[in-house]
Amino acid sequence: MSKEQIQAIGNFLLYYHDDLNYIKMFHDFKENRISFENYCEKATGTFYSFLIEYKIIRNIIKESTPKLLEKTYDWVHSGQDDNVDGFAKMLSQTELTRGNTLTSLASKILFLNNPWTILPVDTITRRVFGQRENNHSLYMKNVANYRKENKAMIEECLLYIKPLTVLIESDFKGKINDLKTIRENRIFDKLLLTTR
- For residue 93, what pLDDT is reported? 95
Rounded to an integer, what distance in angstroms lies between the CA atom of residue 144 and that of residue 147?
5
Of 134, 140, 93, nearest in space to 116 by CA:
140
In this prediction, residue 195 carries a pLDDT of 84
Residue 189's closest CA among 1, 32, 9?
Answer: 9
Largest Cα–Cα distance of the chain, in whole Å? 47
Distance from C-alpha of 161 to C-alpha of 184, rounded to nearest angstrom: 11
pLDDT at 144: 95
How confident is the model over 48-83, as pLDDT tens digits? 999 999 999 998 989 899 999 999 999 999 999 999
What is the total residue count of the chain? Answer: 196
Q: How far apart are CA 155 and CA 148, in angstroms?
A: 11
Distance CA 191, CA 196 (A): 10
Mark the ranges of the chain whose per-residue pLDDT is less than 70: 196
Distances (CA, A) of 167 to 16, 77, 116, 173: 11, 33, 20, 10
CA separation, residue 129 to residues 67, 93, 111, 123, 193 (Å): 34, 29, 20, 10, 12
- Alpha helices by DSSP H, the chain: 3-30, 36-39, 47-53, 65-76, 84-92, 103-113, 123-128, 136-149, 151-169, 179-194
Residue 155: per-residue pLDDT: 96
The whole-number pLDDT of residue 72 equals 97
Name the residue ranges covered by the structural domains of the chain.
Answer: 3-194
Angle at 112 between CA 163 and CA 96, to 5 degrees: 150
Per residue in 136-151, pLDDT tens?
A: 999 999 999 999 999 9
CA torsion, ordered 97, 101, 107, 110, to nearest 10 deg: 60
pTM across the whole model: 0.94
CA distance linking residue 117 with residue 158, whole number of Å: 18
Cα–Cα dist 22/42, whole Å: 13
